[in-house]
């Protein structure tokens, strides 16, 4: 073989070998990618804004390639619907969700207990507690006929292992059994203590962090986040049927805080704010309809009413309460139109207060309307709708005192003798006047109409006892 061909084939061989080796060399020399953990926070009652924040943040965590989601939890409870939305998202998550009750003194009460049981890893800080997961509707406040959580155990005969027999109301029993089955299913899915989970629902039982770890209710007790990540390192977590190994030793923590959308949703879904928006919207529209053309009250009222309706769409609203509020406002308006010695006004005020009290169909912490706010709006509503609206209606029936309409029928005097067009004095003002008859100086006249700056006048047959 000629030397030129040997050199040619040697170069081609070296080139091909380089193409095969280069990617491997680059891959082996690449810097290892540091794993990241997305941190979220729940530090208040769980509601629509909380579920929106958690769901969207978990989607961002998955899209960014995070290896896990860490939720710092401190909550007194919240709405059942919002809690279940978050739990569905946790169960369907392709990456582990670690729920950590922190800092010391925090709690995972009621709905927070369900979130702990649903998470892939449940952790607590010393000095925290969880439990008291009985649905609050099952124990109406101030009703002596219904037993409290501790009284449920005392009411059971000794040796009787049956659960929930003291709950007499069938609907309450149904809700209780549903809550028990739900939390037991979460406990069995995560391999945690299902019997204690049932006690937390039926008997409102609570546990400290150390007791929870001892009873296998949680997985870890960690003094702080660093300790938590240290204990989680190399832990194998089952996620959607696959075992994933957490690498948390040098993990980067990325905090995702609520954005403007979550903050806005948190504000307008606050029951007190939603209540104020509802009444502001109704009053704005009432003022606009009673004084057409005002524009500003109607515009602001329409915006407030739409925001309130959006908030009530995601809040547990009692529509009987809403109807009573509207009825109360209608009766107070009727009092302004048809004086009834206060009967309509008092009835409207009573319906307004009762409707406001029962408007929120839940006893969940953080989702009630402040009684002081209800009282303030009840009194101000009565003052506005009965007194102010009544004065406005009376003012509309008074005679006109300004403008061209007020001139019609006014009395004046002729300043000269004239027929056709001349000058007259009306209300101490000199006007050019037009008449179809002859008028004499100082003769009293009556204004019939106005055409621009010219008055149409006529003489007065009987001029006695008339004053200009």
Distance between CA atoms of residues 429 and 447, nearest Å: 13
Residues catalogued as catalytic: 110, 174
User: Judging by DSSP bridges, how do beta strands 454-459 and 252-255 pair with one another?
Assistant: unpaired
What three-state secondary structure class fits 75?
strand
Q: What angle do CA 195, 230, 116 make, to 5 degrees?
A: 25
Token representation of residue 457: 């006048």
Distance between CA atoms of residues 325 and 279, nearest Å: 9
First-to-last alpha carbon distance for the chain, in angstroms, is: 136
- Which residues have C-beta within 8 Å of that of residue 34, sequence separation ≥ 6? 250, 251, 252
Nearest one of 136, 103, 130 to 207, comparing CA atoms: 130
- Distances in Å between the Cα of 74 and the Cα atoms of 45, 105, 192, 214, 329 are 9, 9, 21, 21, 40
Token representation of residue 385: 């709708």
Burial class from Cβ neighbours inside 10 Å (0-12, 13-18, 19+) for residue 376 reads exposed
Distance between CA atoms of residues 29 and 20, nearest Å: 15
- Distances in Å between the Cα of 462 and the Cα atoms of 417, 437, 438, 444, 459 are 19, 16, 16, 10, 9
Number of helical (H) and strand (E) elements in the chain, helices listed first: 17, 16
DSSP letters of 222-237? -SSHHHHHHHHTT-EE
Distance between CA atoms of residues 6 and 212, nearest Å: 77
Q: What is the DSSP letter of 175?
A: H
Tell me how long the chain is.
468
DSSP letters of 93-133? -SS-EEEEE-STT-EEETHHHHHHHHSSEEEE-TT-EEE--
Q: What's the farthest any 2 CA atoms get from each other in the chain?
A: 146
Q: What are the beta bridge partners of residue 131? A: 109, 206
- How many CB atoms within 10 Å of residue 217? 24
């Amino acid at each position: 073989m000629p030397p030129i061909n040997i050199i040619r084939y040697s170069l081609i061989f070296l080139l091909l070998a380089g193409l095969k080796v280069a990617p491997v060399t680059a891959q082996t020399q690449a810097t290892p990618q540091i794993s990241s953990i997305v941190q979220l926070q729940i530090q208040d009652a769980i509601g629509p804004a909380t579920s929106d924040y958690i769901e969207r943040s978990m989607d961002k965590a998955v899209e960014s390639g995070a290896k896990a989601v860490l939720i710092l939890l401190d909550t007194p409870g919240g709405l059942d619907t919002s809690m279940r939305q978050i739990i569905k998202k946790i169960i369907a998550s392709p990456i582990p969700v670690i729920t950590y009750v922190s800092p010391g003194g925090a709690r995972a009460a009621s709905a927070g207990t369900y979130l702990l049981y649903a998470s892939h890893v449940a952790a607590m800080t010393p000095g925290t507690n969880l439990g008291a997961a009985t649905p609050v509707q099952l124990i109406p406040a101030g009703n002596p006929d219904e037993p409290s959580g501790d009284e449920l155990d005392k009411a059971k005969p000794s040796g009787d292992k049956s659960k929930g027999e003291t709950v007499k109301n069938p609907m309450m029993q149904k809700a209780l059994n549903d809550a028990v089955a739900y939390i037991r299913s979460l406990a069995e899915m995560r391999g945690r203590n299902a019997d204690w989970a049932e006690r937390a629902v039926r008997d409102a039982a609570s546990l400290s962090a150390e007791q929870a770890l001892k009873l296998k209710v949680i997985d870890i007790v960690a003094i702080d986040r660093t300790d938590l990540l240290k204990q989680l390192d190399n832990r194998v977590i089952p996620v959607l049927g696959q075992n994933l190994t957490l690498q948390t030793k040098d993990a980067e923590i990325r905090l995702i805080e609520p954005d403007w959308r979550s903050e806005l949703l948190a504000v307008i879904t606050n029951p007190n704010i939603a209540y104020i928006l509802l009444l502001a919207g109704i009053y704005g529209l009432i003022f606009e309809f009673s004084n057409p053309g005002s524009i500003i009250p109607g515009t602001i009222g329409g915006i407030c009413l739409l925001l309130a309706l959006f908030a009530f769409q995601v809040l547990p609203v009692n529509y009987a309460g809403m109807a009573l509020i509207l009825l109360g406002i209608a009766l107070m308006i009727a009092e302004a139109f048809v004086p009834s010695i206060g009967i309509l006004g008092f009835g409207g005020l009573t319906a307004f207060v009762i409707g406001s009290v029962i408007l929120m169909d839940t006893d969940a912490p953080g989702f009630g309307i402040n009684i002081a706010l209800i009282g303030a709006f009840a009194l101000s509503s009565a003052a506005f709708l009965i007194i102010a609206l009544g004065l406005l209606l009376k003012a509309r029936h008074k005679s006109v005192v300004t403008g061209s309409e007020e001139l019609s029928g006014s009395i004046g005097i002729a300043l000269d003798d004239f027929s056709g067009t001349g000058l007259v004095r009306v209300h101490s003002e000199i006007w050019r006047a037009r008449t179809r008859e002859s008028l004499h100086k100082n003769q009293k006249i009556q204004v019939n109409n106005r055409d621009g700056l010219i008055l149409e006048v006529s003489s007065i047959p009987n001029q006695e006892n008339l004053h200009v």
